Structure 1
């Protein structure tokens, strides 16, 4: 196995598209290490090999230890890594983008920096949630009211469908067991959805903190994206898990959610939605397969090649061919 310093950086062509990856893999009470380009999970039952380039998000539960080499290969593959607290109520994430282009990030920053375009993107997000109701004339407060009603109706609908009692959303920060089974399941589903959304946002090279509905949090955009799918994927999976009993509801929720995510093709859908939201007014451009290309900004919006010395104007036979490094 080569060292980090000797190992070459993977190119976008060598990495699995985020839409084609396994949504998430959950591990607990094991040691995560690396063997070649796979990670290994070692516990009392032996060693399990997991191809790192096929993982969307790696969920590390209680009792896990991870080596530097394992984190290195996960970062190279653009996999999100989530450290989950007891019952999955906390997480921290990271990962390297699968793209070398800043096209999506620049489009996100441009849309976010203008109040009018920021509202346009927010309305487009609500349009995905309410395809039969045009939100183009709605104020932000009206959009929030619509979303609140939608979520409440979803809770009531799923309670009726599964027979699981439901009064209201009741989340106790830091005390997962204080909620009833349905609330525990909804909390577990929400954390998984945030982790998955974070992995897609990071893989596409977007900024997690530049949200269009949420604001002021380091994962505002992640919360925006995860909320797009809460009523058709997250909440139904939670109620399905809660309907099976009170024991081990968090683990059952993760399994139910994993199945729904894989059968619905959520990762691919999430990628399409993010690109559609951020690039709606931009000319089509494929960002996944663009080779490493770094330009420098010059006057009048002109982009010039990087890695060249621009100390003086080009002369005959020179043409700025001198590399700067």
Structure 2
């Protein structure tokens, strides 16, 4: 008696950097048809290839079947439940990687103070091109970042003619925000979902952050912050100037179009690998992440083969 469909082998799945970034669905029924996710509403049914999808964002009014969730998990895709207007989300994903190399590197770096600071500095270096951050403390890095973000808000306000006061939003009252803040909230939620999907697909922990800490998505916020000043902030001001009927939906559509044209997933994968294993080549990492081998720790840095019975005489 069969217990279910056989999970696909890792080589059969689309690499995370080659996938669609995200698809947003609302007020529909989501099921499975062979290796595709189906979305059905009063306009008809749409088929979405699960193995080519990075993140599925489920908005209000969606119902999803167990078989659809099973297919998403087997395909290494992340499902994100998004609140009204995309203000909140809850996510779960299954890694595309068989190896824990990146996860172990992440844990090793984040639990050593000097190494953690080095990664945090590198993150800020990636956001401050041409600036020397090698001798800065975390307090000084935060100060630089705060000044940089305020400058970005000011410059885009002047560029678009849209008045800006401060980042201000209420997750329980989306409509109370001004247009720029609405667009920022919606765009950032989508950005977090895509970054989360890349992190879990690579086998890393969303909760082990280097700058952010104490939250289950700390590393998601770390990585997303690499892109906000160049991506979601200018987008929010541009949309506020255009005054679309539904600025949250417009933000998601514009961000998705940018992701498609800018090879964002590939960039995100490279950045995470650079931060966690900077000395590894892309080819070596690709080969290592697909190894489906379980070993046993033998003390220090040594390992022995798993699946073997060891007794005192071995």
What is the rounded CA distance, in whole Å, between the counterparts of 1:245 and 1:300 in structure 2? 60
Tell me, yes or no, if the aligned pair for 1:211 and 1:221 is still in contact at 8 Å. yes
- Distance in structure 2 (CA, Å) of the matches to 1:208 and 1:147: 22
Do the aligned residues in 1 keep the contact of 2:18 with 2:265 (CA within 8 Å)?
A: yes
User: After the TM superposition, which residues 216-227 of structure 1 pair with which residues of structure 2 at under 5 Å, given as runs?
Assistant: 216-227=214-225
The one-character-per-residue Cα deviations of 1:5-60 (angstroms, maximum 9, x if unpaired) are: 33222222111111111111010110010000100000001110000011111111
Aligned length: 312
The residue number in structure 1 matching 2:235 is: 237
What is residue 286 of structure 1 aligned with on the other side? 285
Separation in 2, partners of 1:6, 1:65: 22
For 1:320, the equivalent position in structure 2 comes to none
- The 5 A counterparts of 1:108-127 are 108-127=106-125
- Structure 1 runs, 4 residues or longer, greater than 3 Å off: 281-285
Mapped partners of 1:23, 1:235: distance in 2: 19
Q: Provide the residue aligned with 1:273 in structure 2.
A: 271
Partners of 1:239 and 1:53 lie apart in 2 by 34
Encode CA deviations 1:240-274: one digit per residue, 9 max, x unaligned: 22222152000000011111122221111000000
Give the alignment of 1:16-27 within 5 angstroms: 16-27=14-25
Shift of 1:277: 0.3
Offset of 1:84 from its aligned partner? 0.7
Q: Deviations over 1:70-106 (max 9, x none)?
A: 0000011111111111100010011111110000000
Query: 1:173: Cα distance to partner?
Result: 2.8
Length-normalised TM-score, structure 1: 0.92
Q: Secondary structure at the match of 1:24?
A: strand
Q: 1:42 to 1:127 in 2, by over 3 A?
A: same
Q: Is the 8 A contact 2:55 2:194 kept in 1?
A: yes
- Which one of 50, 53, 71 corresponds to residue 51 of structure 2? 53
- 1:1-325 aligned within 5 A: 5-245=3-243, 247-281=245-279, 285-287=284-286, 290-314=290-314
| Greater Cα offset, 24-33 or 283-292 | 283-292
Q: 1:175 Cα deviation (Å)?
A: 1.0
Superposition TM-score, scaled by structure 2 size:
0.95
Structure 1 runs not aligned, ≥5 long: 315-325
Q: Which moved more, 1:84-93 or 1:305-314?
A: 305-314
SS, match of residue 92 in structure 1: strand
- Cα RMSD between the aligned structures? 1.6
| C-alpha contact (below 8 Å) 1:237/1:260 kept by paired residues | no
Greater CA radius of gyration, 1 or 2? 1
Q: Secondary structure at the match of 2:134?
A: coil
Q: Does 273-282 or 237-246 show the bigger shift?
A: 237-246
Q: Which residues of structure 2 form unaligned runs of 5+? A: none
Distance 2:273 2:216 in 1: 21
- Aligned in 2, Cα 1:187/1:299: closer, same or farther, shift over 3 Å? closer
